Amino acid sequence: MSKEVGITVSKNENFSEWYTQVVLKAELADYAPVKGLIVLRPHGYAIWEAIKSSLDEKLKKSGHENGFMPILIPESLLSKEKTHFKGFNPEVFWVTHSGENELGERLALRPTSETLVNSLYSKWIKSWRDLPLKINFWNSALRAEIKATKPFLRTSEYLWQEGHTVHSTEEEAEQEVMDILEIYKKTIEEELAIPLITGKKSENEKFVGAVYTNTMEAIMPDGKGLQMGTSHFLGQNFAKPFEVKFLDKNNVENYGWQTSWGVSWRLIGAMIMVHGDDRGLVMPPKVASIQVVIVPIYYSGDDRKDIIAKADEAQKRLQEKKIRVRVDKRDELTPGFKFNEWEMKGIPLRIEIGPKDLAKNKVVLVRRDTQKKTDLQFDKIDTVVASTLDEIQKNLFDNAKKILKEKTTEVDDYEDFKTQLEKGMFLKAPWCGNQKCEEKIKNETGADIRVIPFNSENTESKCVICKSSSEVIVIFGRGY
Amino acid sequence: MSKEVGITVSKNENFSEWYTQVVLKAELADYAPVKGLIVLRPHGYAIWEAIKSSLDEKLKKSGHENGFMPILIPESLLSKEKTHFKGFNPEVFWVTHSGENELGERLALRPTSETLVNSLYSKWIKSWRDLPLKINFWNSALRAEIKATKPFLRTSEYLWQEGHTVHSTEEEAEQEVMDILEIYKKTIEEELAIPLITGKKSENEKFVGAVYTNTMEAIMPDGKGLQMGTSHFLGQNFAKPFEVKFLDKNNVENYGWQTSWGVSWRLIGAMIMVHGDDRGLVMPPKVASIQVVIVPIYYSGDDRKDIIAKADEAQKRLQEKKIRVRVDKRDELTPGFKFNEWEMKGIPLRIEIGPKDLAKNKVVLVRRDTQKKTDLQFDKIDTVVASTLDEIQKNLFDNAKKILKEKTTEVDDYEDFKTQLEKGMFLKAPWCGNQKCEEKIKNETGADIRVIPFNSENTESKCVICKSSSEVIVIFGRGY
């Protein structure tokens, strides 16, 4: 592979440029003609499909159904919940015309659908029999980005799912908020192989309109935090202005208790950053559209036929074990070119079959994560490939967990805090709970409270800023 | 079920009102707060998911991949192909502001993505090795509707898929146009149980920007035609302005040959109209999210336990045969209410289990399409249910085919043409190929050429309008 085709910078030396090259050269995404927007190429979209399919199955099993909401929300509706509108207004795209005609009222491209959903839920819900109502929407959201675009991390339109639920009791709604966080955590840790810290957002950082926001935070190799998804307890903050009411078993009218929650294609960005290396993308086997690529190696037409036949046989054996596999039969490219291309595209495992392998009835197995090569008897191909994919999945998670541990440090002194932050660390620090201390840190260092981990109450230590009694130990860091 | 809850008009007497009631009362869709837009409720979205999943599998098997394109297209890009832009311009929604800022250039909400796709394909395609490029997009399109909205049939935003392909030869592109039409036809006839007439659109009715448009036409019970999907041969009409070029094996630069094609949630509208009856929706088993509903019938707590256990056992048996089944365990509703509700929602088959059935180790089977009730030995439940679902699927298609046949008539005289049209017929009539005759009919009767069936060349007869030599026998009709 020529220099131009492959990744030309090192992940350690120029992380930002490395990321962009992986996105573009592994053909995950490309820039759209409108600034701030991206396009997903098939290799990138297939990863989103894998995440979507896994999450969708879990949501359906837990009683959620899918629906569709249109992308246009009238201004009067979006502005009905005031805090919410204030939060989103600066980044809303406004439709003012259809064809040559000016519209009577401006229409917003949905930045999120709480207002639209609730205007309908108030019609659909009449009695306790209609609850819980748990609907999820696989769509896109639009929020005009002023800062520099970063594919998957910061774009003006992004793919996501947004769930919106209504419950008859506060307890049930709060349980839903936690159940969803658990579903997300399972998907991200077990499939994307990215370890998380879960907990609450501070008042400053919570979703506009929520009572509180639960969040999942991951650390990236450059020491910055990435919010991986959120699950909000909305209380009755939307139910009241939108009149989402129900008659209970005693025929008494009550407001519903609500939640909303979402994860986006940002998860793909995290996957790239956490697992990728100088050769390009590394996909965890569970979300890889292709888990194994078979590269037949031949130098003459005679060899070709037999080797392709063996490769096809291997594919068949693996497919029977539900392993997603492709045979690369392109004649016009050298094996070396193919190796590099599939490595850059992050396929977890490569199988090489050449004339000598054929003679010995073996194949060569090459792991993407460790680059380790091993010879393998052909007869054992299905069991060994399956177990190797499991090992790769585990190895990627273990490595990511090690990084999270290494990059998290405890501090209780503000000078130490600043020193460690510059080294690209996540900081576990005591906080008094006062927004002024939080804001001081943000203004002076650019770090904010990424997450208040669950069960982090602590009254023994002193706030890292004001030295008054601490309420909790929180995670500070700079974020994406 | 009270009058208000059920469908209150007859399909034959007031077709339009009947349709709206089925959509709303079977909880398929609801109106959004913006005129011309609808929301899909879970029961409606599940049908779209079934169609999507079936079509997606077929497209992937035939070498298509999925991608994502953003919803915003700059005006300069949309207007690059002039005929195309002229056709869509009147119905484009324009974004002019983000937050408080006026944009430098207006952005269109995509009415279709040819222009956006080609601006990227021109970057991605360099050599013959990159071809064919066959990408499909599951997204929505926005076209501002001025006429009255009809859920699934005429809305300003609709769910669809749009495929965009590039080929190195004209022949291969034309073959793709036909292959896609075949995939669509298979899905619609075999799964939605709606018979089609396939063929070409006239020059007047083809897609703006296409060389020609292949189409699938179905007849609705009111005699109006519904275009069920289109597959366009674009030739090099977009490749040239967008410079979609490739180097061939001889290193010579060529323009690509292109196709685009799509079907939308309009298919759900057709399904409602073709199969529904005075009780509500009737879903063909293959696209039904729930194929069988089991209603346990009990009058005391003692009975309840045993009957629910039997219902659960039935469910398990059916699920092992991959039949999609739900047990309706809601205690607060009567069996009669449940029967009506599931009938309105179109579930193909109902199983009733009451105390007497339990004693005799049998169940009652009720078909949605014929309302026929039969007793069935419990032990045979899985095989009989599976074969009955097949029979229902077949019966729905046969009935629809009968209607298509009955409502299609041959005419060669214009007076006869008008009489038959008023009776709600599809008219097979000879046409000279002249646009003036086509326009005269449209202006005078409201009917247009729905489809020029394949192999319909005919030079023996005389044009129904001008009486000059006929070129083809075409299908005229009024359309949705």
Q: Note down pLDDT in tens along chain B; length 480 residues.
A: 455 679 999 999 999 999 999 999 999 999 999 999 999 999 999 999 999 999 999 999 999 999 999 999 999 999 988 888 888 888 999 999 999 999 999 999 999 999 999 999 999 999 999 999 999 999 999 999 877 889 999 999 999 999 999 999 999 999 999 999 999 999 999 999 999 999 999 999 999 899 999 999 999 999 999 999 999 999 999 999 999 999 999 999 999 999 999 999 999 999 999 999 999 999 999 999 999 999 999 987 778 899 999 999 999 999 999 999 999 999 889 999 999 999 999 999 999 999 999 999 999 999 999 999 999 999 999 999 999 999 999 999 999 999 999 999 999 999 999 999 999 999 999 999 999 999 999 999 999 999 999 988 887 899 999 999 998 999 999 999
Q: What is the ipTM of this complex?
A: 0.95
The answer to whether residue A97 is domain-embedded is yes
- Both A325 and A253 in one domain: the answer is no
- Cβ of A98 within 8 Å of Cβ of B98? The answer is no
For the record, the structure tokens of B1 come out as 């079920």
- Cβ of B157 within 8 Å of Cβ of A100? The answer is no
- Both B121 and B87 in one domain: the answer is yes
- Both A30 and A133 in one domain: the answer is yes
Among the three residues B248, B275, B302, which one is the final residue of a domain in this structure? B275
Q: Quick check: A369 and A395 in contact, CB under 8 A?
A: yes
Distance from CA of B295 to the nearest CA of A (A): 18
The answer to whether residue A280 is domain-embedded is no
Distance from CA of A283 to the nearest CA of B (A): 18
Q: Into how many domains does chain A fold?
A: 3
Distance of CA A81 to the CA centre of its chain: 28
Residue-level pLDDT at B4: 64
- What is the rounded average pLDDT of the residues A112-126? 96
From the list A268, A401, A266, A275, the residue with the least C-alpha distance to A343 is: A275
For residue B159, list chain A residues with Cβ-Cβ distance below 8 A. 68
Domain span at B37: 15-275
Distance from CA of A71 to the nearest CA of B (A): 8
For residue A96, list chain B residues with Cβ-Cβ distance below 8 A. 94-97
- CA nearest to B144 within chain A: A98
In B169-287, beta strands by DSSP E: 197-200, 212-219, 225-235, 245-247, 253-255, 257-264
**A414-462: per-residue pLDDT in tens?**
999 999 999 999 999 999 999 999 999 999 999 999 999 998 888 789 9
Q: B231-254 burial, b if ≥16 CB within 10 A, otherwise e?
A: bbbbbbbbbebbebbbeeeeeeeb
Residue-level pLDDT at A465: 94
For the record, the structure tokens of A458 come out as 């602590």
For residue B97, list chain A residues with Cβ-Cβ distance below 8 A. 93-94, 96, 106
pLDDT > 70: what percent of chain A? 99
For the record, the structure tokens of B336 come out as 């009669």
**CA dihedral of B77, B79, B84, B89, whole degrees rounded to 10:** 120
For residue A30, list chain B residues with Cβ-Cβ distance below 8 A. 120, 123-124
- Cβ of B129 within 8 Å of Cβ of A332? The answer is yes
Task: Region of B410 please: left (phi>0), alpha (psi -120 to 50) or beta.
Answer: beta
Report the CATH number that the domain containing residue A332 is assigned in CATH: 3.40.50.800
The answer to whether residue A2 is domain-embedded is no
Of A66, A74, A89, the CB nearest to B99: A89
Among the three residues B227, B248, B275, which one is the final residue of a domain in this structure? B275
The answer to whether residue A205 is domain-embedded is yes
For residue A44, list chain B residues with Cβ-Cβ distance below 8 A. 67-68
**Any B CB within 8 A of A144 CB:** yes
| Whole-number Å distance between alpha carbons of B116 and B416 | 47
The answer to whether residue A356 is domain-embedded is yes
Of B67, B123, B140, the CB nearest to A40: B67
Residue-level pLDDT at A457: 85
Binning pLDDT at 50, 70 and 90, where does residue A3 land?
low
- Both B42 and B142 in one domain: the answer is yes
- Both B373 and B438 in one domain: the answer is no
For residue B72, list chain A residues with Cβ-Cβ distance below 8 A. 32, 34, 37, 93, 156-157
- Both B120 and B264 in one domain: the answer is yes
- Cβ of B33 within 8 Å of Cβ of A97? The answer is no
The model's pTM is 0.96
- Both B115 and B264 in one domain: the answer is yes
The answer to whether residue B247 is domain-embedded is yes
For residue A99, list chain B residues with Cβ-Cβ distance below 8 A. 89-92, 144
Of B45, B142, B144, the CB nearest to A67: B45
For residue A74, list chain B residues with Cβ-Cβ distance below 8 A. 33-34
* Residue A324: how many other CB atoms lie within 10 Å: 17
* 3 state DSSP class of B202: coil
Sign, CA torsion A271/B69/A92/A76: negative
Residue-level pLDDT at B1: 46
- Both B143 and B29 in one domain: the answer is yes
The answer to whether residue B9 is domain-embedded is no
Among the three residues B345, B364, B390, which one is the final residue of a domain in this structure? B390
Of A42, A74, A94, the CB nearest to B33: A74
The answer to whether residue A151 is domain-embedded is yes
From the list B416, B356, B117, the residue with the least C-alpha distance to B242 is: B117
